Amino acid sequence: MEMKEKDGPKAWEDICLRCGRCCYEKLDYEGEIYYTDVPCEFLDIDSRLCTVYPERHRDRPGCTPLTPDVIRRGILPGDCPYVLDIPGYRAPLMAPENPEDPE
């Protein structure tokens, strides 16, 4: 993954399949990352694309740039190409309806 990042920003961005699955709100519950079914306000549900992509970090300060360190925190689904080669990668789970009972 770090080799791909060193290939330059375009090569790094080209890894993304634009599936939009990482553009859903996440919860950190006791150190475990959970996806919710709440999309980012800027995600076009039909196209699965960000509607403010060039300005996403300005318009939505919580939109974190994807770096190898951020990716290792477990915010991307397990079959996302950015994480496929990370041994032991722990993908987020779906948030339970009752956050007090994550089982």
Q: Which residues contact ligand SF4 (rule: CB under 6 A)?
A: 16-22, 76-77, 80-82
What is residue 53's DSSP assignment? G
At closest approach, how far in Å is the CB of 100 from ligand SF4? 28
Which among 80, 64, 100 has a CA at the least distance from the CA of 17? 80
The two structure tokens encoding residue 31: 């150190």
At closest approach, how far in Å is the CB of 79 from ligand SF4? 8
Between 29 and 39, name the residue whose CB sits nearer to ligand SF4.
39
Between 12 and 29, name the residue whose CB sits nearer to ligand SF4.
12
Distance CA 28, CA 34 (A): 6
The two structure tokens encoding residue 63: 């939109």
Between 17 and 32, name the residue whose CB sits nearer to ligand SF4.
17
